[in-house]
Structure 1
Amino acid sequence: MNDNNFLSSGMVDPVEMLPGVHRRTMVTTDDMMLVEITLDKGAVVPMHRHANHQVGYVISGEIELTIDGVVRVCKPGDSYAMPGNVDHRALAVTDCLVIDIFAPPREDYR
């Protein structure tokens, strides 16, 4: 273990993915990646899919997720899972902060 195994969000500049949606790619291993995502109220991540498995946890706010046709509003303390190649989208009901983990890591998020 060395200092490269630790990272503070203040050390990572946010990247705007879409209007009102920003990510900070945090720690990454060969097998997985942890990403901090902030969404402004009303921001939308349109329906999409990727080969990576994705799990997430809502830190703050409310986010409406559609996963494989099922719609749920997730609140702080809620978690979710998206198998690879499953259609999903997100709508920020309020300003929100979520943590997503991707396996394997998303090359486009490095």
Structure 2
Amino acid sequence: MDELSVKSEIRRNAAVVTISGRVDSVSAAALDEQLSKIAHENNRLALDLSDVTYLSSAGVRAIVKTLQSAEKSGGGVVLANVSDAVRRVLETVGMMQMLRVFPSVEEAVGSF
């Protein structure tokens, strides 16, 4: 199943956002909307990407927009469990230098 799913929970004053499925040009708008709502409540987000099967440039834009919004309010966005395929997309669009990536959600949350 590749349908986009976004779930969030609070752990140690950070929102852990588990994103699953395809983040393509169609579903990226829904991801952007959901991340904006979550970031409005908590400016520290750890995005668990372990179940992301595809990430388009529109999906990257949604993540970057959330990062910029969180940083403006003194928070941030970190990534956890990034697959090789998603990492390649982030490297290709030059975003790996901008994003902090951790091997686990626990380490990502602990970075705040």
Q: TM-score, normalised by structure 2?
A: 0.31
Higher helix share: 2
- Highest CA radius of gyration, 1 or 2? 1
Higher strand share: 1
